[in-house]
Amino acid sequence: MNKKWMNFLDLSEILKSRISHAPSLWKAVFLYGKRSYRVVPGAGIVVTGFSLLFFSGQDPEIGRDFSWLIKSQLGDQKIRDIIGDIAKPGWSLRHPVIAHEEEWVCRLIELDPTSEVYARYEGADVLCFSV
């Protein structure tokens, strides 16, 4: 698996264009509460006008902007299953999706080698995972 840091400002418009042209291949993963997460299909990303957390910045409730964009041929439910199987809630100082990020990203890419995962943390950089 390859990892590459990219600047969000350089990447933002490219991602928006790619999502607009093939929304069925894209999903967004957002933290939800202290131990849960949500998967939003690409059509939902487009319908919101790209105002979802990955593109808009910091979440006012939790004060951080951890979120992921996923390009994959795997369906929404399969991605939920992969993350859910690996990032089971338990005692941790970190959110389980964050604490087990490398594991679920590796599994996703293993099942669909064409997958790309873009991780946005607290800042202007995006970590890109791919084969």
Local confidence pLDDT in tens for the 131 residues of the chain: 899 999 888 898 999 999 999 999 999 998 887 778 889 999 998 998 887 667 775 545 555 568 899 999 999 999 999 998 888 766 566 677 888 889 999 999 999 999 999 998 877 788 999 98
Let me know: does 118 contact 55? Beta carbons within 8 Å.
Answer: no
Let me know: does 2 contact 119? Beta carbons within 8 Å.
Answer: no
Let me know: does 59 contact 65? Beta carbons within 8 Å.
Answer: yes
Per-residue pLDDT at 32? 80
Say what the pTM is. 0.87
Structure tokens at 47: 């319908």
Q: What is the largest CA-CA distance in the chain?
A: 40
H or E stretch covering 86? helix 76-86
Per-residue pLDDT at 58? 54
Separation between Cα atoms, residue 64 and residue 52, nearest integer Å: 13
